[in-house]
Chains A and B, each alone.
Chain A
Amino acid sequence: MRRTVATFLFVCALGRGVELCPALKEALAAYRLETDAARKERLLRNVTEVERYSRCYVEFVHATLGYKDFLRRIEALRTDRQWGAGPSGAGGTTLVARGAAARTLSLAAEYGAITQSASGQVITFRGNLAGLPAALVRRDVFPYCDPRTPKTEQPGFCVESSWLGQLRKLSFGVSFDAARSAGPLSADPVPAGSGTASVVRFAADRTELSSFDLRYEIWNRKDSSSRLFQQRWQAKLAEQSRIPELARGLSAAFEPVFEKLGASQAYAGWQAETRERIRTASDPEGALRSQMSRLGMLLLEENILTAEEVGELRRLLSRYGFEQDELMELAASQPVIAVEYSYNRPLLQVPESGVRFVFDLPMSKRWSLAVNTAWTFQHGASAGAVSRGRGLKDLELGAQAERFLGTLPSLGPATLGAAGYVQYRNSPPVLRAPGRDAVPGETGTIAAAQLKLTLGPPGGVRIPLAVSYSNRTEWIAAPAWRVQLGLTYDFDFLFLP
């Protein structure tokens, strides 16, 4: 008994310092201003209902019970991300890059080439700097600064959604050429001006890293008010599973609490007493805070909630809030302009760097348009003909229109894209096969077109299937039809709760 009284006094003392949530403050302000007696009484009744202000009460009780546990959060899935290698890779399914990258980490294995002479098999890891902290929040390692919680009740260190927003702008990709160490590779270099092709066998190069890139989203269009945003939000809500899973967990956790509260005479008594105290108080907010600090003890003594259950409810609420905020951010934020630096190591050629600007323009719920322009520079100095490969290698311009086809049975969300691409070669590519003289290619223009179908069966997998036509390739001055295949996996699914 002595212990209960001491705990009660301790909890009351803690409660005085805990801030009310904005919802209850607004409700009390409305109560004070209301002049109609019946409406005023209804507002007062509402204020004392845990069933109505569940998050406010859980947060308050949690704070009065002295908890300092952490809140965690997660990320979502997009169908419009750049998953695999960029357009410059020897093995890639992408002719025109999209603006958004994977939110945590994605893995893409792609086979095919579009403007390269040799088809390659490239494995690309693509990630986002916000992916790791978001995953750690979801795994309850870092707390989340939930805007639904008063600032004073948030942990000393927590992950702000604004930080995640900034980190999300920076993404990276690392590609490995799986064919390089698999054995000899054949290609058909064309000596400058000869017009004829000759087959050259390349020796295998054991180094597998073929390229890496860094991408920064310069401009994200924020739109949370248009009809298009509402449509995007609804579509993304329907295609992800975190919110429904968390919501079901929440309703299953709260259902017995609400039922016990409904059957508790002590709770009904607390509500009546609280209403009376607020009615007669000069400081209704202080009166409510004082009563709420008593509620924690009442819930414990009535076996309605244990201290651990209060902590778990708070954790579930925080994660649910995080997922809603992430979904809103995902639907509202549309990358419009991104800049990408890439470093590419084509097989048996000098390394090259490129700067690419990506313009991504969602036109409507189903249509989007992406435009790319890029400059590529060759590294390294060589003698004789090789020196002609220095400096600006090529200029590129590409555009892709994509249409969301809807969600197909068993195949998931599907998109169909049509892309066009032009590359002007300012400097000839130079092939440096070991033990052979350097063989320069030709300058000129390469034009390509691609039709691509992307399927997204459930489970984080994406399957791009594409067919392309080019008037020539980098080494062969003859038209080429190509097929590109891919398989990507989104590691976001590994971070599901």
Chain B
Amino acid sequence: MGFLLRSDCADAWCHFCAPAGARVTLAVVGTAGSVRFASARYGEMELVAGPEAEEVSFTVRPGRNVLTAVYVFSHGAEGRGRLCERAPDGRLQVLEEDLRGDNEVRGHRICGV
């Protein structure tokens, strides 16, 4: 099974879209220092159980939804990273090239289609 999230969505509102009901795993990779999820809320649920996480998983809800993520960077304002989708076989697909330490709160629009 491959990647589920796409960026070429029919609805221009969406940053990414995936089949509704699909289980998706997002991972972060640091490009300048380390980056982690400090918090991630999707459908009013907190996805980060501990103090931080390298990955979060959730089930894609139908329609337009926002994943609100707060990242923590080891290099503070200079920290940079990538948001990726992790496939069940472990491969990574880059979704966002530009996670930044000076804009740690992000709203990712994810549509279930």
Q: Interface residues, chain A, CB within 8 Å of chain B? A: 21-23, 50-56, 147-148, 224, 229-230, 233-234, 237-241, 243-244, 246-248, 250-252, 254-255, 258-259, 261-262, 317, 320-321, 324-325, 327-328, 331
On whether the beta carbons of A255 and B44 are closer than 8 Å, the reply is yes
Instruction: Give chain A nearest CB distance to B79 CB in angstroms.
Output: 8
On whether the beta carbons of A53 and B103 are closer than 8 Å, the reply is yes
Question: In the docked arrangement, what's the CA distance between A208 and B74, Å?
Answer: 45
On whether the beta carbons of B52 and A54 are closer than 8 Å, the reply is no
17 residue pairs bridging A and B, Cβ less than 8 Å apart: A50-B107, A56-B102, A147-B77, A224-B75, A233-B34, A233-B74, A237-B52, A244-B51, A244-B52, A248-B38, A250-B70, A251-B68, A259-B66, A262-B13, A317-B105, A325-B76, A328-B75
Judged by a CB distance under 8 angstroms, whether B101 is at the interface is: yes
| 0/1 interface trace, chain B 45-73, chain A, CB 8 Å (1 if under) | 01010111000000000001010111011
| 0/1 interface trace, chain B 75-97, chain A, CB 8 Å (1 if under) | 11100000000000000000000
On whether the beta carbons of B104 and A55 are closer than 8 Å, the reply is yes
List B19-58 residues whose CB lies under 8 Å from chain A: 33-34, 36, 38-41, 44, 46, 48, 50-52
Question: In the docked arrangement, what's the CA distance between A155 and B64, Å?
Answer: 39
On whether the beta carbons of A328 and B76 are closer than 8 Å, the reply is yes
Q: Which chain A positions have C-beta within 8 A of B72?
A: 237, 243, 247, 324, 327
Question: In the docked arrangement, what's the CA distance between A321 and B75, Å?
Answer: 11
Q: Which chain A positions have C-beta within 8 A of B102?
A: 21-23, 55-56, 148
On whether the beta carbons of B104 and A248 are closer than 8 Å, the reply is no
On whether the beta carbons of B74 and A51 are closer than 8 Å, the reply is no
What is the number of contacts between chain A and chain B, taking CB atoms within 8 Å?
124
On whether the beta carbons of B39 and A244 are closer than 8 Å, the reply is yes
Instruction: Give chain B nearest CB distance to A11 CB in angstroms.
Output: 23
Given the known A-B contacts A237-B51, A251-B39, are A321 and B13 also in contact in the complex, defined by CB atoms under 8 Å?
no
On whether the beta carbons of A251 and B33 are closer than 8 Å, the reply is no
Question: In the docked arrangement, what's the CA distance between A317 and B13, Å?
Answer: 26
Q: Which chain A positions have C-beta within 8 A of B50?
A: 238, 244
Question: In the docked arrangement, what's the CA distance between A250 and B41, Å?
Answer: 10
Question: In the docked arrangement, what's the CA distance between A234 and B36, Å?
Answer: 9
Partner of A251, one of B34, B36, B70: B70
Given the known A-B contacts A247-B70, A324-B76, are A51 and B44 also in contact in the complex, defined by CB atoms under 8 Å?
no
Question: In the docked arrangement, what's the CA distance between A241 and B72, Å?
Answer: 13
Question: In the docked arrangement, what's the CA distance between A148 and B100, Å?
Answer: 11
On whether the beta carbons of A320 and B104 are closer than 8 Å, the reply is yes
On whether the beta carbons of A224 and B51 are closer than 8 Å, the reply is no
Judged by a CB distance under 8 angstroms, whether B6 is at the interface is: no
On whether the beta carbons of B106 and A52 are closer than 8 Å, the reply is yes
